[in-house]
Amino acid sequence: MLVQKLEQYRNETSQRKRLDEIHLKVELLRYKLKERKAKMPMGKGTYGTTKGRPPAKKKMTAKQKTLPTALQKKIMASKKKK
């Protein structure tokens, strides 16, 4: 009977050790996930610390490209100001 109790106790302690190891691994993963979320927000369209998509680049349309170069430069300068 004493041998059975010792075996039972040994099995319980080994299970506790495994549970403790699993618990530590889970805590480590939670910590890493928390760090990742702090660095970069999760979700669709996130960019750095601001939510949503970054603004589209301002390009010239096909019709504007047919204009004279001086006028094209003037259009691009006005787009840069905005």
17-70 confidence digits (pLDDT tens)? 888 888 888 898 888 888 877 766 555 555 556 666 666 777 888 899 899 999
Q: Are residues 3 and 30 in the same domain?
A: yes
Tokens 């059975």 map to which residue?
4
Domain-located, residue 52:
no
Domain-located, residue 53:
no
Domain-located, residue 46:
no
Domain-located, residue 51:
no
Q: Are residues 31 and 62 in the same domain?
A: no
Domain-located, residue 63:
yes
Pick from 12-16, 35-39, 53-57, 74-78 the range whose average pLDDT is largest: 74-78
- Provide the number of structural domains found in the chain: 2
The pLDDT of residue 19 is 85
The pLDDT of residue 79 is 82
Q: Using CA atoms, how far apart are residues 47 and 41, in angstroms rounded to an integer?
A: 8
The pLDDT of residue 71 is 92
26-36 confidence digits (pLDDT tens)? 898 888 888 87
Q: Are residues 35 and 62 in the same domain?
A: no
Its domain, for residue 5, covers: 1-40
